[in-house]
Amino acid sequence: MSHHLTLLRHGESVANRAAVVQGQMDSPLSDLGRKQAEGVAREWLSEGLLFDQVITSPLLPARETAEVIATRLGLHLELEPSWMERDFGSGQGLSIEAFQDRLGPKPPLPFAPVFGNGEGAWDLYLRVARAVQAVVRRPPGCYLIVSHGALLNAALRAMLGLAPTPGRAPRFTFANGGHAHLEMDDEGAWTLHALTNPLGSAADDSGT
């Protein structure tokens, strides 16, 4: 049996609704976010999708989403800080518009921190690569990872071998409730089987 990973972005948070960059600040799910989590759980129940373990970021929107799904699917829930969202330093708490204005048109060098002491591209890549490594060192099985938009983008890049380089990194759209299904074979090669976003979900996935 191989390793199957499903990467799920949490439902809409209060910060998402307010168009605020959350980073590692806590923000609970909005009413819509709870409905999105319930919707994902219902969808997977109807499909008979099974997981051996749910691993979640301890930040509120991811944890609350994971709790809904774990309860509905009868699964054990594990909190793992390495799946927390990217630390955006002093950019956390800004509106998305103010965040983009301060970031400017030219992305920071990949080795440089962002917004003072925030995680640079290589900091994030190394952290999420270790997080993925820890999962695949577990016994083969099906693992659900509940996390955040920027972190899941970095996870997909790490799994597909896209290391940070100067300039804009490739982006994957993880709307709230969006999820990717991947499989690692016996030689350590990943296959991305699907990246699905719920109809009508907002597509913003920057630092939230």
CB 92 within 8 A of CB 42: no
Active site residue 76: no
Q: Whole-angstrom Cα distance, residue 65 to residue 39?
A: 11
Catalytic residue, from 10, 64, 148, 179: name it: 10
Catalytic residue, from 12, 64, 85, 119: name it: 85
Q: Whole-angstrom Cα distance, residue 51 to residue 72?
A: 12
152, 156, 159, 165 alpha-carbon torsion, rounded to 10°:
-100
Using the structure block, give the residue that is written with the tokens 């910060």: 15
Q: In what order do the strands lie in the sheet with 3-9?
A: 77-79, 53-56, 141-147, 3-9, 179-184, 190-196
Active site residue 10: yes
Active site residues: 10, 85
